[in-house]
Amino acid sequence: MFTYTFADQTCVDDFSVVDQDTQLLVGGLGQGDFTVAIYDPNGLDRSDGTDAVDWDIEEKNVGSGYYTIEFDPDLYGDWLVSVIHDTHFPWGKSSNYRVVSSDYYGSGGSSGSVTTDDLLIFILGLY
């Protein structure tokens, strides 16, 4: 399943870290504690290097065990984000994003009036 977003928006995903033995949330982790892979629509890992997209991981409330990853896609299409923690989830936690053009107005033109039929066409990708 994809989370749909527009090309000019930041993609945001929330996740938690749970200790497998105690089943308690693990707080206090930083960006360096995770391995991140962000794959663009061409299948290229864009998490680091000269072609990297901007991304960041932060704990929502210090010590809470709830975290947020944000990244700024720069291409239309399907993106995959995977966050790995060597101890707590070495298999990774992944999310899929479908980045679409933000210039879709529907049958109402640039006035922004979008009908239910317009939304259905947009969701099904028939525009």
Q: What is the pLDDT of residues 81-100, one digit of tens each?
A: 999 999 999 999 999 998 88
Note the pLDDT of residue 35: 94
Q: Quickly state the pLDDT bin for 111 (edges 50, 70, 90).
A: very low
Domains of the chain: 3-124 (2.60.40.10)
Nearest to 88, CA basis, from 36, 40, 26, 38: 26
Query: Half-sphere exposure of residue 30, counting CA atoms within 13 Å on the CB side?
Result: 1
What's the rounded mean pLDDT across residues 46-75? 89
Q: Quickly state the pLDDT bin for 118 (edges 50, 70, 90).
A: low
What's the rounded mean pLDDT across residues 7-18? 89
